[in-house]
C-alpha cells in the first residue's frame, strides 16, 4: 500500500462542526478513521477529530479511486477527504450525533498514515484495563470522553485566569528549582552538578516565593502553578499536580473568600453551571467536627445531632450509657425500608465498625417495643426529624424522595462506661468516629438509593468555608507539636497575646481556612505572618532553635525586616476542580500524562536508571537499601 503526501491541501472544517446549513459546500476534512463499514460499492467511514465525527460516503460510481483507497483504510488510519456535503436521506438521520443530519460524499481521499491494530479502540466508551490505557496514553487521549475532559480543563483554566486578571492580579511565575522547605510531604530533590553534594528541591507549593512577592510590592499575585510532592498516591492525588495559587496584600479573610468564590463561579460557568451570587456557607473547624465529625463536611447529608439532653440520667444508667459523654445521632435520607434480615445485618455491621472502641448502636426499633423506653425513642426520632427537615429546607426546599419516614435510616450512637480514656486523649474523638460512620453508610446506600445523583445544577454543589483550624497538631511519634497548616500561618492575635503559644499550644487557633465541596477539600489558605518577631516565635514553638531557623529560612526572615505588608492567600487544586466538573472518578482522567499509584509513567517508562557517567557528573552513587 502506498501512502499519500498532504501536499498543499488544506482542511476547511472540523469534523464535529458540520451541519445541514453547510449542505452543498465542498468540504475537506482530516482526521482518524473511527469506524469503517463496507457495503460493497458503498464504504462508510466515520471520520474523527477532536471536535467530533462526520460520516463520509465513498461511492465507487462517484469516485473509483477514492473508493479503492477506502478499501485499504482501517480504524485509526489518518486520512484527508474532500467532497460535497449533503443531507442524509429520510430515515437515515442519526439523532445521537451532532452531525447526524449530514454526510460527506467524497470525490478524493488521501491515506496520510496507516496504523497498527491498537490494543483498544478509541471508539469504545470505556476501557477496563487502566494500565493499558496509561501505556498507550496517546490512543486513550483520542477517546471522546478524554477529549471532552481536556477541552473542559482548558476552558476552566482560561476562565479562572481571565477572572483574576480582571480583579487586578498579576500572573508571575516562580522557580521550579529551589531549596527544600517543610511543606508537609517529602521533597523531590534535584542534585546539582556544579555544586557537588548540594540539591535543589522541586516546589511543593510556591509558598515562600508568593509571600516574598508581597514583600516586593506586587499586591496581587496569581499563578496556575505546577507543584511536586513525594507522597503516597490515591485516586485524587498525583506526585505532580496543578494548583491555582494566589496572594493578596492588606486583605481581610473575607477579601480572599470573595476572590476565590468569584473565580470558582467563573470556572463553573465555563462548564455550563451557574452557582448564583449567594456567598458560600462558613463554619469554624470546631463546628464542622461537632456537626459533621470531619473537617471537610459533605453537606449533601443531614448533620449529626447531639441527643445528650434527650436522655435522663436514669435512662443512661438503665441503658448503660456513659453519663459524661455525648450521645450522637444522624439520618441517612431515602434509604428505603429495610427488611428484618437487612436491618440485623446492618446493626452487626455498625457494631463491627466501632469494634472495641466503647461506642455502641442504640436500636430505636427495639426501644419502641419497650413500654418504658418508647417515649425516649419518639423524642429521639423527633429531634432527628427536626434536623432532617432543616436539611431539606437548606437544600432549597428539596423534598425527600419519599414521604415515608421509615425510608430514612436513623442511627443513634452511645458511649459505654469506660470510654473516657479515648475521650481524654482527644475530646473530639467521638464526633470524628461517628462522622466516619455517617459517610461510610452514605456511600453504602449511595448507588442503590441515588443519594448523590448529579444533575449538574447549582444545588448539586455544596460549598463551604471551614475556618479557625488548630494552629498545631500533636505528633505522637515524635512527641512534639507540628504546624497543622504550615509554619508561615498566623495565629489569632488574641492567642498570641494570651501566651498560649508557649503555655497551651493545643488551644491556639490559626487564621487558616479550607474551601470544601461535597466532602472534598478543594484548597486551603491562611493569613500569613508578616512580622519577624512573630515568625521567629512560631519557629521556636515548633522546636526550632534560632540558629536552625536562620540556616533554613534566613533569607525569608531577612525579607520580613524590610517592610512586609499584612498578606494572605489560598491555593486550590485545578485538577480536583476539573475532575468534579467532568464527573470523573480519578485525577488521572483530567491529567494528560499521569502516573500510576506507584508513581510510574507507563508510557515513557519513568522513573528509570541512569548511566554511571551521569552519576559521576553529579557526584552520586546508588546503594541498595536493606
Q: Is the pLDDT of residue 509 over 90?
A: yes
Structural element, H or E, at residue 412: strand 409-415
pLDDT above 70: percentage of residues in the chain = 95
CA distance 78 to 28: 14
Report if pTM > 0.85.
yes
The confidence score (pLDDT) of residue 406 equals 65
**Under CATH, which number does the domain 15-113 receive?**
2.40.50.140
For residue 134, what is its C-alpha cell? 496509561
Phi, psi of 96 (to 5 degrees): -85, -5
Q: What single string gives the DSSP state of each residue in 165-231? A: HHTTPEE----SSB----SSSBPPEEE-SSSTT-EEE--S-SHHHHHHHHHTT--EEEEEEEEE-B-
pLDDT band at 402 (very low <50, low <70, confident <90, very high): very low
| 227 Cβ neighbours under 8 A, 6+ residues apart | 203, 204, 205, 206, 240, 241, 242, 243
Q: Is the pLDDT of residue 97 over 80?
A: yes
Q: Is the pLDDT of residue 133 over 80?
A: yes
Under CATH, domain 145-250+262-270+465-613 is a member of which superfamily? Bira Bifunctional Protein; Domain 2 (3.30.930.10)
β-pairing, 281-284 with 305-306? unpaired
CB atoms near residue 59 (< 10 Å): 17
Q: Which of 13-17, 51-55, 334-338, 433-437 has the least mean pLDDT? A: 334-338
Q: Which residues of 233-247 are buried (b: 16+ CB within 10 A; e: fewer)?
A: beebbbbbbbbbbbb
pLDDT band at 423 (very low <50, low <70, confident <90, very high): low
CA distances from 256 to 151, 239, 525 (A): 28, 27, 9
Q: Is the pLDDT of residue 105 over 70?
A: yes
The confidence score (pLDDT) of residue 451 equals 67
For residue 497, what is its C-alpha cell? 497575646
The confidence score (pLDDT) of residue 578 equals 97
Q: Which residues of 126-146 are buried (b: 16+ CB within 10 A; e: fewer)?
A: ebeeeeebbbbbebbbbbbeb
The confidence score (pLDDT) of residue 184 equals 64
- Name residue 186's beta-bridge partners: 230
Q: Where are the domains of the chain?
A: 15-113, 145-250+262-270+465-613, 301-451
For residue 440, what is its C-alpha cell? 461510610
Instruction: Give the angle 382-374-343 at the CA atoms, nearest 5°.
Output: 80
The confidence score (pLDDT) of residue 125 equals 82
Higher pLDDT, 573 or 420: 573
Burial class (CB in 10 A: 0-12, 13-18, 19+), 50: middle
> Tens digit of pLDDT for each residue in 571-592?
999 999 999 999 998 999 999 9
Please provide the average confidence, as pLDDT, over all residues in the chain. Answer: 91
| 128 Cβ neighbours under 8 A, 6+ residues apart | none
The confidence score (pLDDT) of residue 459 equals 80
Q: How far is CA 84 from the centre of its chain?
A: 46
The confidence score (pLDDT) of residue 339 equals 85
Q: Is the pLDDT of residue 425 over 70?
A: no
> Tens digit of pLDDT for each residue in 136-181?
999 999 999 999 999 999 999 999 999 999 999 999 999 999 988 7
Q: Which of 67-76, 476-485, 521-530 has the least mean pLDDT? A: 476-485
The confidence score (pLDDT) of residue 233 equals 72
Q: Is the pLDDT of residue 504 over 90?
A: no
Sheet of 328-332: strand order equals 305-306, 328-332, 409-415, 359-361
Q: Which of 392-401, 415-424, 592-601 has the least mean pLDDT? A: 392-401
pLDDT band at 400 (very low <50, low <70, confident <90, very high): very low
Q: What is the mean pLDDT of residues 515-542?
A: 94
> Tens digit of pLDDT for each residue in 237-286?
899 999 999 999 999 999 999 999 999 999 999 999 999 999 999 999 99
pLDDT band at 397 (very low <50, low <70, confident <90, very high): very low
CA distance 314 to 301: 32
Q: Is the pLDDT of residue 467 over 90?
A: yes
The confidence score (pLDDT) of residue 364 equals 86
Q: What is the mean pLDDT of residues 533-538?
A: 91
Amino acid at each position: 500500500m502506498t501512502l499519500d503526501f498532504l501536499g498543499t491541501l488544506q482542511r476547511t472544517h472540523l469534523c464535529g462542526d458540520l451541519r445541514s446549513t453547510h449542505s452543498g459546500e465542498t468540504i475537506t476534512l482530516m482526521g482518524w478513521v473511527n469506524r469503517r463499514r463496507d457495503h460493497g460499492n458503498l464504504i462508510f467511514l466515520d471520520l474523527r477529530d477532536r471536535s467530533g465525527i462526520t460520516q463520509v460516503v465513498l461511492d465507487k460510481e462517484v469516485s473509483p479511486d477514492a473508493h479503492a483507497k477506502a478499501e485499504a483504510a482501517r480504524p485509526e488510519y489518518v486520512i484527508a477527504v474532500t467532497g460535497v456535503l449533503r443531507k442524509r436521506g429520510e430515515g437515515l438521520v442519526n439523532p445521537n450525533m451532532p452531525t447526524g443530519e449530514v454526510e460527506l460524499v467524497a470525490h478524493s481521499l488521501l491515506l496520510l498514515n496507516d496504523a497498527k491494530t491498537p490494543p483498544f479502540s478509541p471508539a469504545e466508551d470505556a476501557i477496563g484495563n487502566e494500565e493499558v490505557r496509561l501505556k498507550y496514553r496517546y490512543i486513550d487521549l483520542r477517546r471522546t470522553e478524554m477529549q471532552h475532559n481536556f477541552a473542559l480543563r482548558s476552558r476552566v483554566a482560561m476562565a479562572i485566569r481571565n477572572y483574576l486578571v480582571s480583579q487586578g492580579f498579576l500572573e508571575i511565575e516562580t522557580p521550579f528549582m529551589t531549596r527544600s522547605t517543610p511543606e508537609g510531604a517529602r521533597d523531590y530533590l534535584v542534585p546539582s552538578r556544579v555544586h557537588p553534594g548540594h540539591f535543589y528541591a522541586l516546589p511543593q507549593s510556591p509558598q515562600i516565593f508568593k509571600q516574598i512577592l508581597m514583600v516586593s510590592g506586587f499586591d496581587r499575585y496569581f499563578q496556575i502553578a505546577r507543584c511536586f510532592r513525594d507522597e503516597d498516591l490515591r485516586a485524587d492525588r498525583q506526585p505532580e499536580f496543578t494548583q491555582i495559587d494566589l496572594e493578596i496584600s492588606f486583605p481581610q479573610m473575607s477579601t480572599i473568600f470573595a476572590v476565590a468564590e468569584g473565580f470558582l463561579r467563573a470556572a463553573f460557568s465555563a462548564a455550563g453551571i451557574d452557582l448564583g451570587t449567594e456567598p458560600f456557607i462558613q463554619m469554624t473547624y470546631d463546628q464542622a467536627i461537632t456537626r459533621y465529625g470531619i473537617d471537610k463536611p459533605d453537606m449533601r447529608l443531614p448533620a449529626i445531632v447531639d441527643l445528650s439532653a434527650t436522655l435522663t440520667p436514669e435512662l443512661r444508667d438503665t441503658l448503660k450509657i456513659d453519663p459524661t459523654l455525648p450521645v450522637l445521632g444522624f439520618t441517612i435520607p431515602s434509604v428505603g425500608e429495610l427488611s428484618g434480615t437487612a436491618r440485623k445485618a446492618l446493626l452487626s455491621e455498625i457494631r463491627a465498625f466501632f469494634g472495641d472502641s466503647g461506642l455502641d448502636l442504640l436500636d430505636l426499633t427495639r426501644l419502641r417495643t419497650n413500654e418504658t423506653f418508647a417515649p425516649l425513642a419518639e423524642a429521639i426520632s423527633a429531634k432527628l426529624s427536626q434536623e432532617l427537615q432543616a436539611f431539606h429546607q437548606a437544600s432549597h426546599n428539596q423534598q425527600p424522595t419519599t414521604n415515608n419516614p421509615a425510608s430514612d435510616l436513623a442511627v443513634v450512637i452511645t458511649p459505654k462506661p469506660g470510654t473516657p480514656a479515648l475521650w481524654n486523649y482527644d475530646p473530639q474523638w467521638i464526633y470524628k468516629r461517628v462522622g466516619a460512620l455517617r459517610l461510610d453508610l452514605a456511600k453504602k446506600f449511595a448507588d442503590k438509593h441515588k443519594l448523590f445523583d448529579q444533575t449538574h445544577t447549582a444545588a448539586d454543589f455544596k460549598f463551604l468555608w471551614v475556618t479557625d483550624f488548630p494552629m498545631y497538631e500533636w505528633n505522637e511519634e515524635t512527641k512534639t507539636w507540628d504546624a497543622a497548616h504550615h509554619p508561615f500561618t498566623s495565629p489569632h492575635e488574641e492567642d498570641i497575646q494570651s501566651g498560649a503559644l508557649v503555655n497551651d499550644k493545643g488551644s491556639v487557633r490559626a487564621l487558616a481556612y479550607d474551601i470544601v465541596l461535597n466532602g472534598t477539600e478543594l484548597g486551603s489558605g491562611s493569613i500569613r505572618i508578616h512580622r519577624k518577631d512573630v515568625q521567629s516565635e512560631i519557629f521556636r514553638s515548633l522546636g526550632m532553635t534560632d540558629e536552625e531557623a536562620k540556616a533554613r529560612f534566613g533569607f525569608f526572615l531577612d525579607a520580613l525586616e524590610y517592610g512586609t505588608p499584612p498578606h494572605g492567600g489560598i491555593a486550590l487544586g485545578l485538577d480536583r476542580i476539573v475532575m468534579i466538573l467532568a464527573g470523573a472518578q480519578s485525577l488521572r482522567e483530567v491529567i494528560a500524562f499521569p502516573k500510576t499509584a506507584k508513581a510510574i509513567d507507563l508510557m515513557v517508562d519513568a522513573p528509570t536508571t541512569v548511566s554511571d557517567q551521569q552519576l559521576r557528573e553529579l557526584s552520586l552513587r546508588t546503594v541498595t537499601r536493606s
